[in-house]
Structure 1
């Protein structure tokens, strides 16, 4: 039979895939699980009947599926959602041809107290819910026959976290098959000790395992490819290695000529392919993405990336994805990062725990610096059932698992051993801090280690006294910045947490030039506040330990020695609903609300952190007769802003050195308020807000209309209630009915209001300040998705999405 060119190419591709699978197989193990909410002590048995269990795919968070309630023991701090116990089971088959292989299961994170069985054999327990771990399945597998993996997740001890943790196998799971001689898990470590314009030296450390019965002589080498897939370097001239039984570690170097550096503006990535050959046959292959960049902290001049000064413009981020909860989703994480990138953010502090591995891949690709943080507490508890229960036994394994997993990411530039740790107040902090830093540096000496500290007097801070920290991170206390170099001579500094300012999108209280401390002190956990549980968005409300956003920006920018800042927080997050209590169930700290809709202060940062022209005018222009309204504008690339009301100029104003906005106090008249920014008399931007009439229609806009037909991709559809002329109606809080049909489903709804007690899975959602959000998830089949939104008295709105391979 004669085969055409196309058929030959297909056969070659299939053979290539088969060959690669024989070398190292990394299988997405997220699909095809069974789930039981509740406890059944027999569920670990291989012959247990799980036919009536719910079928689902991972990542999964069962807590987010619940209604909110003040009765849950996690309390408001934990998001007013339940914990509990859940079981997961997966049946799978390993081919008989893999009987001479090593097979392990890798979990990127399970919250929490997970226990794992394979075919009824107990593999172990991992208490910490934010760390990755793995188990060797090889001794217990049935080859060519069904195998049953069972996972018990116990998040029943509450209160635990100071924020919403979620519950379940909420990050990726992978099944990895290798030869008996193979690169170990996290067994490639790439550094770039020498970088200049003409060349970069790439140092590669290998850890190789040998689970066979005799020493093996192999060729071990790495090829490096640029972003276009062209080979630019190889270590193949250093190949002969003897791998003793058990394994060994090796190192090699190679050189890349005219390297392209990874940076915030151009996050250029190389790929290293490490191979093991035995007798000319490839037996293992590992691909590692890395970037070439240098960075340093200078005690006098702050932070430098690739020898260029760079102010760290960062935000703190908790791990939940709003209405999706703690279950990691690539599309949702990328949307969050995209919104932050547009704001001018160049760094993220993942607070206060290791993040999902996949989000670090996104940070590498999108150009963010990342501080990875290990713990929120050590031995001294913050909540009764938090990590203090496990610290003694598990801290070494947990912090080293974090570093091993994340040490090749070019985005990761700093490790943090903790946040506001209570041991900083006594001598135990000195011993533990040194121990943790030693554990980190036993694995990675290329990055500085910090800790987010509250005590900024040397005699009071026992963690600093350890002498182990490379960079001092301080939370809040702006008034002490000037004295830091005197108190800590020769030290480098970063503001690991700033602001704790509070706001609700679209809510405005006047006068706006009067600051409010909510709560006012450490003895008043909640405040009476506003009847609708809103907080003014004028940037004049903040917790007593914090400051306004403007004050934090001005303080950090004032001092060259301050490397930069991480604002608390980038997005609102579930839990910690300061300054309120139930029915508030999520935070007010975010620059962006929980639905991903920017608050006004977003544009303050955009005007300070980007060079793109910015002119943001607020508030809305629907007020009552006789009201006097404070009108603010954030702007850049201009000398002044002129304000007009119904065509009449109200004068021009300019920012000063200590105020980052301009303000007019305007007697309200219905009509049009307009701002015009100018530079040297030339108009740069014009923005106007019109008085809106009654809601006349529903407007739908999607962040994307084409989705991947993979069962995971998302489209975020913003719902606005607008008047007949298309103006947002700012006080329209109207009930919506949202439905999704076709090749997708409704994954969640939200409106960004922290005191909405309706479940995120509820298709009936009120708008908040005229807006809401529908999250649509694709199926695994191609086709159209129809989104229908209804509201009483308005014509229904429809939006069509398309899923594609």
Structure 2
């Protein structure tokens, strides 16, 4: 079907009265361009019923309308709308009549329009979004039509829009055998057609083709399969993300009546306990990052450029895989993973029939789960980046017989729809034993530590039981239930159960495991086992990228209410990502890169010296409260703790050329060495040694006072294939001294002004997990010297900005964006 982006010229308003006799458009309706997040535009509410789940953003009811003119000449055409994601409980009306909808908020869905249209006239498309039954999410969900919308138009005979797939049957460097499958629909009398399938390289050169004559009967829907053979294919993997274009053309009497196209990657997956995961015959270990769906400062608004930027920065940080938690990934994200080379573990649900929030998807799961699973698999099928499916995250009823039955049913459905990939459940051992968990905790702790287990959520319990967790998850009752789960799936995901790796691979040599969710500080321990055990195919840290909501999980706490799960307003982000919500890499990211063996140069970070000697409460998701800086507002010789992340076997720390000693480094100390140093401004240097020889070194140099604001446009993320409704530009803001050194301990509030009318300031913000300024106010405050401005440029390749610090310092810059 002809596919037209349908994101522009929508009207939007907050619905205040659902019980209206006549539907009208209120005077306060405004024009918006999709994708659009209605939640991020609202003021945060310290008393929100959503609480820290959404970062203290409220839900609401929202309405979008748009007009569609349809000529009478189109009466025999098939017209549909494709929605890639609407949160939540979407209902689509055409001229006041219900035409379709979707409940879960993360699935692509289609709405046929023909039965409701008026011809030679304007038709009102009205989308109602009901996100006011809260809480319904454990993280920031956003609200509204936050992904792309498309208008699909086909003839009397057409290709079903989400029923085009290309399967790699076999492939090697000499030959690839592909099977293309397409669903054809004929709504008229019996007719003869010819289906042509063409395969092109990235230079639009035709490499292979096939065709099939087909007779379709009246009102018939038929699946057609054809084989395509390609000599000397370029195979897809994360290091070589080669793609091809496949086109499908349906002819009637030599007249083209419909067409469709899809990009593919040719690759073959295998999984066994001897070799682990193999891509095109090569064993792969997954260096994985869990991520949520939000776009940081943009809220839930999903664009290809933002997705491309996020995946590229994650890949630069050493990751080769992402886990989309805990709902199906956006098509924009998968396009980025295909093009850049990133393996994807896509996930269906965070809950089944048992709720985790009062009004979450569990309310409709029983009747709708098949629809959600099918939509995810159809969306993912042609994306080579997707290699694994998760059928659910930490599902409580996995401990029950009915839960195991459901596990089997979901995996069976996925296998029927897609036999080329592998399925798992992301299992937290604490969820597998039901009410027996209280008894297990009491036995392990040898004390009455379990009295409040039933009243705590899983994250709170894991924090409370952290020092006992390894003993708890290796309990025999959990072992028994994991065996039952593993019998239903191709492999099994272990959430926070590293302690089981050696035990289970020995006792169950046939079992294949992936660390589907792990504590960031434990990457050294985890990765040593991943590399050692072929049955353990990878590790997915929680998380690779900080996210909105679940506020406070990683915020250090120096007094009650400061951080952790007790963090109060204005806590906004989880604060656990290797990369913050602006795309800035934090110290743990470099630590992980060293553990992965991808970085030889050591890395320096300093524990927050303003809290030296104080008791700091850190959840298990946090290693320390470090900043990579030697610029502090401290008295001379004030005590500091310096962390050096390093390979080799020994590291030396120097301050202004004077050695502060040598200490063991590398795997023997989990790649993290601590020094206590008296603060003196100047140069802090770390030198890594291996058998006495210098491997590499790094340094931090103290900055002086604030002298300027550096504005730098990110020009890398302008992919030729982006067809965006929002032309976004990312401007990094750095607080610098006269020598361009970042000021990290003297943050300033600032305002932003666009000098030209053709530039819109979309959002401004920083990685501060507890901001007191909304992102849409054209002002913010630096955090450790950094901030980010996101612009929208309707038709410009340059932008002139004025940034004014609270101390009066002004920077004006004409920025070239492309």
Using structure 2 for the length normalisation, give the TM-score. Answer: 0.85
Alignment of 1:223 onto 2:198: yes
Aligned to 2:209: 234
Shift of 1:685: 4.4
Aligned to 2:612: none
- Tell me if structure 2 keeps the 8 A contact 1:58–1:172: yes
CA deviation string 1:318-368 (max 9, x = no partner): 000111000112222221111101011111110000121111111110101
Alignment of 1:730 onto 2:744: yes
Aligned counterpart in structure 1 of residue 516 of structure 2, from 493, 496, 513? 496
Separation in 2 of the partners of 1:794 and 1:610? 45
CA deviation string 1:517-547 (max 9, x = no partner): xxxxxxxxxxxxxxxxxxxxxxxxxxxxxx5
- Tell me if structure 2 keeps the 8 A contact 1:643–1:673: yes
- Match runs of 1:428-467 below 5 Å: 428-455=402-429, 460-461=480-481, 464-465=484-485, 467=487
Alignment of 1:379 onto 2:356: no
Change (3 A) 1:49 1:242: closer
Separation in 1 of the partners of 2:690 and 2:668? 17
- Match runs of 1:51-450 below 5 Å: 52-212=28-188, 214-236=189-211, 238-450=212-424
Q: Which secondary structure does the structure 1 equivalent of 2:220 belong to?
A: coil
Separation in 1 of the partners of 2:711 and 2:532? 43
Q: Which secondary structure does the structure 1 equivalent of 2:573 belong to?
A: coil
Change (3 A) 1:163 1:470: same
- Tell me if structure 2 keeps the 8 A contact 1:300–1:492: no
Aligned to 2:451: none
Aligned counterpart in structure 2 of residue 690 of structure 1, from 701, 704, 720? 701
**Is the deviation greater in 357-366 or in 576-585?**
576-585
Aligned counterpart in structure 2 of residue 553 of structure 1, from 521, 527, 542? 527
- Tell me if structure 2 keeps the 8 A contact 1:233–1:256: yes
Shift of 1:686: 4.0
Aligned counterpart in structure 2 of residue 646 of structure 1, from 642, 656, 663? 656
Q: Which secondary structure does the structure 1 equivalent of 2:583 belong to?
A: coil
Q: Which secondary structure does the structure 2 equivalent of 1:110 belong to?
A: coil
Q: Which secondary structure does the structure 2 equivalent of 1:551 belong to?
A: helix
Shift of 1:775: 1.5
- Tell me if structure 1 keeps the 8 A contact 2:12–2:30: yes
Alignment of 1:663 onto 2:674: yes
Aligned to 2:491: 471
Q: Which secondary structure does the structure 1 equivalent of 2:40 belong to?
A: helix
- Tell me if structure 2 keeps the 8 A contact 1:33–1:89: yes
**Is the deviation greater in 277-286 or in 609-618?**
609-618
- Match runs of 1:17-36 below 5 Å: 24-36=1-13
Separation in 1 of the partners of 2:808 and 2:743? 13
Alignment of 1:766 onto 2:781: yes
Shift of 1:388: 0.9
CA deviation string 1:753-793 (max 9, x = no partner): 11113211122212222222222221x22364222111133
- Match runs of 1:754-793 below 5 Å: 754-778=769-793, 780-782=794-796, 784-793=798-807
Separation in 1 of the partners of 2:490 and 2:674? 42
Separation in 2 of the partners of 1:431 and 1:710? 43
Change (3 A) 1:326 1:709: closer
Aligned to 1:514: none
Aligned to 1:675: 686
- Tell me if structure 1 keeps the 8 A contact 2:398–2:485: no
CA deviation string 1:727-778 (max 9, x = no partner): 2222112211122232211111212111113211122212222222222221
Shift of 1:241: 4.1
Change (3 A) 1:454 1:64: same
Separation in 2 of the partners of 1:736 and 1:549? 37
Q: How many residues align?
A: 730
Aligned to 2:733: 719
Separation in 1 of the partners of 2:486 and 2:140? 32
Change (3 A) 1:209 1:731: same
Shift of 1:614: 3.4
Shift of 1:797: 1.4
- Tell me if structure 2 keeps the 8 A contact 1:753–1:768: yes
Using structure 1 for the length normalisation, give the TM-score. Answer: 0.86
Change (3 A) 1:651 1:243: farther
CA deviation string 1:262-281 (max 9, x = no partner): 01111000111111111111
Separation in 2 of the partners of 1:104 and 1:273? 21
Separation in 2 of the partners of 1:663 and 1:159? 43
Separation in 2 of the partners of 1:555 and 1:489? 15
Separation in 1 of the partners of 2:286 and 2:667? 23
Tell me how large the CA RMSD over aligned residues is.
2.4
Alignment of 1:582 onto 2:593: no
- Tell me if structure 2 keeps the 8 A contact 1:34–1:56: yes
- Tell me if structure 2 keeps the 8 A contact 1:433–1:466: no
Separation in 1 of the partners of 2:333 and 2:383? 11
CA deviation string 1:365-419 (max 9, x = no partner): 0101111100000001111111110111111111111111211110111111100
**Is the deviation greater in 552-561 or in 691-700?**
552-561
